[in-house]
Amino acid sequence: MLPELKEKLPEIKQEPQVESPFQESWRAMRKNKIALVGMTIIIFFVTIALLADVIAPHGINDQAFENRLESPSAKHWFGTDDFGRDILSRVIYGARISLWVGFFSVLGSIIVGTTLGILAGYFGRWVDTIISRLFDILLAFPSILLAIAIVAVLGPSLQNALIAIAVINIPTFGRLVRSKVLSLKEEEFILAAKSQGMGHSRIIVHHIFPNSIAPIIVQGTLSIGTAIIEAAALGFLGLGAAPPDPEWGMMLADAKTYMQQAPWTMIFPGLAIMLTVLGFNLMGDGLRDALDPRMKS
């Protein structure tokens, strides 16, 4: 009996292992070289933001007027500003502020926008009408002007700039989720759940929301880059972080007077903004390709 079993064993083939959606998406991301470049840029800036206290060569507010507007050198790699402060150290600490504002403003937009979008798309009728008109009102204003108006009402500060950026991005996520829910609620598995007597809250939590996560993740990644630019714009106008915080937009505002005399005071904060936003855009495009079923072969 045993020899017969041994002869049959080699003929038994193992079933191919089924990948989870996360594993499948990660495998697609690894094949996308551009997305990996974006992820590397993001990891770099997140790392320097977390380790700013360790890697910054000088204090962000250490002033040395004898070194005022000094060009890049071995002592000050990025040069110094008009107060003799080390620009490299301020750019490193500025990453902490910009990423903090970008992440939490988008997180707030996702929470509020997703909630309103699900309610509008799922329940429809007067609920959809009220929420959609609210989105239309917010979208009727240019985003940066609306952010300026909100900060002007609340008062200039980094926290109020974060709130303003979160508010202006709510319609983006709300309309995205609403359109997704409108198509989902007509699917057979949703109709089957309703026919079995499942309540609205359970359908939303267990079926609607999980199937809406992919576009939210993609849009959220892209929106962080946009939020960083908006935070820098508010900082440039003096409506964001207060001096002497090393916020990138405010550093550009302080440097505009010395653009010809000391261009490095503007170049390095500008490059930091550009590279960070580029990283989130590249990674967002990669996530879209990995998570969108239409993009998969």
Give domain limits for the chain.
Answer: 37-295
Torsion of CA 117, 119, 121, 123, to 10 degrees: -170
Q: Please, what is the angle between helix 213-236 and helix 264-291, to 10°?
A: 170
- Looking at residue 82, its pLDDT comes to 85
DSSP 297: -
Please report which helix (H) or strand (E) contains residue 140, including its range: none
Q: How confident is the model at residue 103 (pLDDT cuts 50, 70, 90)?
A: very high
Spatial separation of the C-alpha atoms in residues 172 and 177, rounded to whole Å: 9
Spatial separation of the C-alpha atoms in residues 141 and 167, rounded to whole Å: 12
Q: How confident is the model at residue 92 (pLDDT cuts 50, 70, 90)?
A: very high
Is the separation of the CB atoms in 266 and 259 below 8 Å?
A: yes
Q: What is the residue whose two structure tokens read 């916020």?
A: 247
Q: Give the distance, in angstroms, between the CA of residue 293 and the centroid of all CA atoms in the same chain.
A: 22
- Using one digit for the tens of pLDDT, what is the confidence trace for 219-235? 999 999 999 999 999 99
Query: What are 80's strand-pairing partners?
Result: 86
CATH number of 37-295: 1.10.3720.10
Q: How confident is the model at residue 297 (pLDDT cuts 50, 70, 90)?
A: very low
pTM, two decimal places: 0.85
Torsion of CA 119, 120, 125, 131, to 10 degrees: 110
Mean pLDDT of all residues in the chain?
Answer: 85
Which region among 28-37, 54-63, 71-80, 82-91 has the lowest average model confidence (pLDDT)? 28-37
- Three-state secondary structure along 182-227? HHHCCCHHHHHHHHCCCCHHHHHHHHHCHHHHHHHHHHHHHHHHHH
Spatial separation of the C-alpha atoms in residues 270 and 264, rounded to whole Å: 10
Helix ranges, the chain (H) = 2-8, 21-31, 33-50, 52-55, 87-123, 125-139, 143-154, 158-168, 170-184, 188-195, 200-203, 213-236, 248-255, 264-291
Q: Does residue 80 sit in helix, strand or coil?
A: strand
- Looking at residue 5, its pLDDT comes to 47
Q: Kindly provide the b/e burial profile for residues 286-296, where b requires at least 16 CB atoms within 10 angstroms of the residue's own CB.
A: bbbbbbeeeee
Contacts of 181 (CB under 8 A, 6+ apart): 117, 118, 120, 121, 122, 208, 212
Q: How confident is the model at residue 24 (pLDDT cuts 50, 70, 90)?
A: low
Q: How confident is the model at residue 20 (pLDDT cuts 50, 70, 90)?
A: low
- Looking at residue 211, its pLDDT comes to 84
**Mean pLDDT computed over 258-267:** 89
Q: Apex CA 103: angle with CA 102 and CA 106, to 5°?
A: 85
**Position 7 pLDDT exceeds 70:** no
